[in-house]
Structure 1
Amino acid sequence: MKKDLKVKLGQVGDYEIRLLKVFEAVVECGGFSAAESELSIGRSTISIHIANLEERLDLKLCRRGRGGFSLTEEGIEVYELMKGLFSALESFRSGVNALHVTLTGELRIIASDAICMDPKLKLSDTIARFTEAAPDVNVLLDVKALNDIERMILNDEADIGFIPCHRQLSGLDYRTLYLDPCHLYCGRAHPLFDAKPSTTLLAQVLTSKVVHAGIHTSPEVGSQLSDMNKAAISYFYEARLAMILSGAYIGFMPDSYVERHVEAGELRALVAESKHYALEVVAITRTHGRANRARDLFMDLLTDR
């Protein structure tokens, strides 16, 4: 009958490991005498070690006498359990050693439109610091639509995603990075570009054609658009900006993205006191999955600013 070794043995420390190593040598050498040269200790000392192990386990492990050396049924089982223990220890040792090996492979980063160049993210600076710390890791950076980024992170097709937070999906971790203020803009060719603040300006804005992303990004964005004339859809900021600059449409844009166009006199914000919102920009990673040291290092550098 099998005994519960945990009850008798308790914790396995260095002393127990040494005793088990002696037992391993005795079994694999075929007896006490044969194990002397392997262990570089005398037979009497070996006998004491085995006796101590049997006492700690409260099990008879081997028979020795005129009939020679042999294992008991319990000794055979302990030997098999011991091999599993030593294998696990070796795996642990190898795993820890691997943590000190130079990082290699790929780090796959994917971002939503316009986030890559947002100065608040400081992505270029983080990439520079990362490549200095892990020069053998290839960084792959791409831009995709918001829903594609979530899918790719969940499917382990990418390691880190940067998106405006619009929902919380199971299986993803969300780390808030910053808020991105957005206002309603029109181009110089639009009839409202030179309009003076007045009580009727908001009414004119609400009837003007608006270009928008065409997806639900947050309740705040939906609320801002609910009373407006949604006349065109353009998901990516670059294309939406072109439509706003045409003078045919107005539209919401991140302030940081259009700053140079505002300074150049090509865009102006309309009714800024009432038409504005802030996008919460987050980094998303998988909640579960294999360890990814390159991803963890990048995230540490990203948030250590």
Structure 2
Amino acid sequence: MSLGQVGDFEIRLLKVFEAVVESGGFSAAESELSIGRSTISTHIANLEDRLDLKLCRRGRGGFSLTEEGVEVYELMKELFAALDGFRSGVNALHVRLTGNLRVIASDAICMDPQARLPEAIAEFTAAAPEVNVLLDVKALNDIERMVLNDEADIGLIPFHRQLSGLNYAPLYADQFHLYCSRAHPLYDSPNSDALLEQVLAAKVVHAGIHTSPEVGSQLADMNKAAISYFYEARLAMILSGAYIGFMPDAFVQQQVASGELRALVPETKHYALEIVAITRAHGKANRARALFLESLTGMTEVDRV
């Protein structure tokens, strides 16, 4: 016979069994359980019937467990430990959120209007006012390492690869075009096949890391002459007039509106880069992290709809 559902009745019988084993016998368990020996004996008999196993021996030789009784006792301890863990976990859900939440963003994501990070921080701090949000900016590879090593709770990065130790939540996509400044010789050139040839020969400043196959494809036939990872520094290189380079449209919209920058061959030279929130795939639950991620994805989800 196999054991069916384990309910409250079986749990009560197992508690009696636990007291008997840890007291060393039926008589010794009477004061522990505040019930008589005959009632204890009935409970143990009911448990043995439920399990279809002989759990203990009692008689002139004293109290002892059978081999099956020893095994059931060990399994029972695992069951009670799991129940205690469940109870503690549920109780923890009612505890106020405190401490620090460490958020690390790549480059200009913090102030990208599509990220809506200020709004997400405002919503989070209203829901968890006792949690301090620590926000910093790092290079992409550093952010991945910090999240994997539990040095940061959430990382905001351009998606470029899938690491087994991380979870990825899509936020939005940045659109990139190839820009030159008013000081560059190509600024006044009309878009044409001839301009494309000149673009391919012009010096390009780029991030210097592999971000996606699409980005690699766009740069493959170009004159990669300088490296500048951070957008602000790359923009300064482009504004010098010595280089052209890909920039996210949202980041340079002010310079485009003022005429300081123009997009070169926009139908040909462009790509999209998905921005994601990364978190550790393993480790204990983090309610503050989950709440902030919910705020962040909720903000960007509204924009995507």
TM-score range, shorter chain: 0.7 to 0.9
Gaps of at least 5 residues in structure 1 are: 1-6
Q: Shift of the alpha carbon at 1:170?
A: 2.6
Secondary structure in structure 2 of the residue aligned to 1:115: helix
1:55 to 46, 49, 55: 49
Match of 1:106 in 2: 100
Q: Does 1:180 align with 2:177?
A: no
1:119 to 113, 116, 125: 113
2:227 to 226, 229, 233: 233
Cα distance in 2 between the residues matched to 1:257 and 1:290: 37
The answer to whether the Cα contact below 8 Å between 1:172 and 1:285 also exists between their aligned partners in 2 is: yes
Cα distance in 1 between the residues matched to 2:239 and 2:55: 88
Question: Normalising to structure 2: TM-score of the pair?
Answer: 0.85
The count of corresponding residues between Structure 1 and Structure 2 is: 297
Which residue identity is paired with 2:224? K
Q: Does 1:89 align with 2:83?
A: yes
Match of 2:303 in 1: none
The 1:135–1:68 alpha-carbon spacing in structure 2 relative to 1, beyond 3 Å, is farther
2:277 to 278, 283, 290: 283
- 1:134-186 CA distances to partner (integer Å, 9 max, x unpaired)? 22222222211122222222222222222222222232222222221111111
The 1:195–1:22 alpha-carbon spacing in structure 2 relative to 1, beyond 3 Å, is same
Match of 2:132 in 1: 138
Match of 1:4 in 2: none
2:190 to 169, 193, 196: 196
2:63 to 56, 63, 70: 70
The 1:193–1:48 alpha-carbon spacing in structure 2 relative to 1, beyond 3 Å, is same
Bigger mean CA deviation after superposition, 277-286 or 234-243? 277-286
Match of 1:158 in 2: 152
Cα distance in 1 between the residues matched to 2:197 and 2:234: 23
The answer to whether the Cα contact below 8 Å between 1:54 and 1:61 also exists between their aligned partners in 2 is: no
- 1:42-95 CA distances to partner (integer Å, 9 max, x unpaired)? 55444432321232233153526xx59634445962555544433332232122
1:222 to 200, 216, 222: 216
Cα distance in 2 between the residues matched to 1:175 and 1:53: 49
Cα distance in 2 between the residues matched to 1:147 and 1:181: 21
The answer to whether the Cα contact below 8 Å between 1:8 and 1:56 also exists between their aligned partners in 2 is: no
Cα distance in 1 between the residues matched to 2:97 and 2:81: 25
Whichever of the two has the greater Rg, that structure is 1
Secondary structure in structure 1 of the residue aligned to 2:188: coil
The answer to whether the Cα contact below 8 Å between 1:22 and 1:39 also exists between their aligned partners in 2 is: yes
Which residue identity is paired with 1:63? R
Which residue identity is paired with 1:70? F
Q: What is the identity percentage for the equivalent residue pairs of Structure 1 and Structure 2?
A: 75
Bigger mean CA deviation after superposition, 25-34 or 284-293? 25-34
The 1:30–1:178 alpha-carbon spacing in structure 2 relative to 1, beyond 3 Å, is closer
Question: Normalising to structure 1: TM-score of the pair?
Answer: 0.85
Gaps of at least 5 residues in structure 2 are: 300-305
The answer to whether the Cα contact below 8 Å between 2:54 and 2:66 also exists between their aligned partners in 1 is: no
Cα distance in 1 between the residues matched to 2:250 and 2:180: 15
Q: Shift of the alpha carbon at 1:38?
A: 5.0
Match of 1:3 in 2: none
Bigger mean CA deviation after superposition, 67-76 or 157-166? 67-76
Cα distance in 2 between the residues matched to 1:33 and 1:286: 52
Secondary structure in structure 2 of the residue aligned to 1:107: strand
RMSD value over aligned CA atoms? 2.7
- 1:97-134 CA distances to partner (integer Å, 9 max, x unpaired)? 12222223332221211112111111111111112222
